[in-house]
């Protein structure tokens, strides 16, 4: 299938962003007559044509929220979907299909909107006013540590005395 070349148009871009925000996939949108190929839309975002990049990123975040709602509705429907002749496995297969859809939506949503739906929590430490943290270290030596340090000092002194006598 040949790629549809559609030049950037604010009207088309607005429709694409609106439909993405409602949860529709870019691939589905771009199949429609008069719509550009998905590759063209991604290029508009990459090249930031008329500020499209930030709008596209925001539409993808809104899409994640819409898909989250869809995921909740889909998960809620699992019990009503679980019908079929006893012993055929039909009900189990329907529930597994729902589970697969929910898992796929969960995976996608966590990647598109990680701040809202991601699994990882990032902790950031900073000092006063958001600046760097100041750290202080105290060393507490035992008596044994002090003895070792003193022996090292004595050995260094002996080496210095020995070196100066050999040079002199």
User: Nearest-CA neighbor of 26 among 70, 68, 71, 56?
Assistant: 56
Average model confidence (pLDDT) across the chain: 86
Q: What is this structure's pTM?
A: 0.61
**C-alpha–C-alpha distance, residues 109 and 104, integer Å:** 9
Residue 20 has pLDDT above 90, yes or no: yes
Q: Tell me the per-residue pLDDT of 36-46, one tens digit each, with 9 for 90 and over.
A: 999 999 999 99
CATH number, domain 10-116: 1.10.10.60
Q: For residue range 102-135, what is the model confidence (pLDDT) as tens digits?
A: 899 989 888 888 888 887 666 677 778 778 888 7
SS3 for 99-137 is HHHHHHHHHHHHHHCHHHHCCCCCCCCCCHHHCCCCCCC
């Amino acid at each position: 299938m040949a790629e549809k070349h559609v030049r950037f148009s604010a009207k088309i871009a607005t429709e694409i962003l609106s439909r993405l925000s409602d949860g529709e996939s870019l691939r589905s949108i771009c199949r429609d007559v008069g719509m550009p190929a998905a590759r063209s839309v991604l290029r508009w975002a990459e090249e930031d044509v008329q500020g499209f990049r930030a709008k596209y990123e925001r539409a993808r975040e809104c899409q994640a929220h819409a898909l989250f709602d869809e995921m909740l509705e889909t998960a809620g429907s699992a019990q009503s979907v679980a019908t079929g002749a006893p012993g055929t496995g039909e009900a189990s297969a329907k529930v597994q299909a729902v589970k697969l859809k929910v898992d796929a939506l969960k995976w996608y949503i966590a990647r598109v909107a990680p701040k809202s739906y991601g699994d990882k929590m990032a902790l950031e430490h900073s000092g006063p006013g958001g600046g760097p943290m100041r750290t202080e270290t105290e060393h507490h030596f035992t008596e044994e540590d002090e003895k070792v340090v003193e022996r090292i000092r004595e050995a260094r002194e002996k080496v210095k005395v020995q070196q100066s006598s050999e040079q002199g």
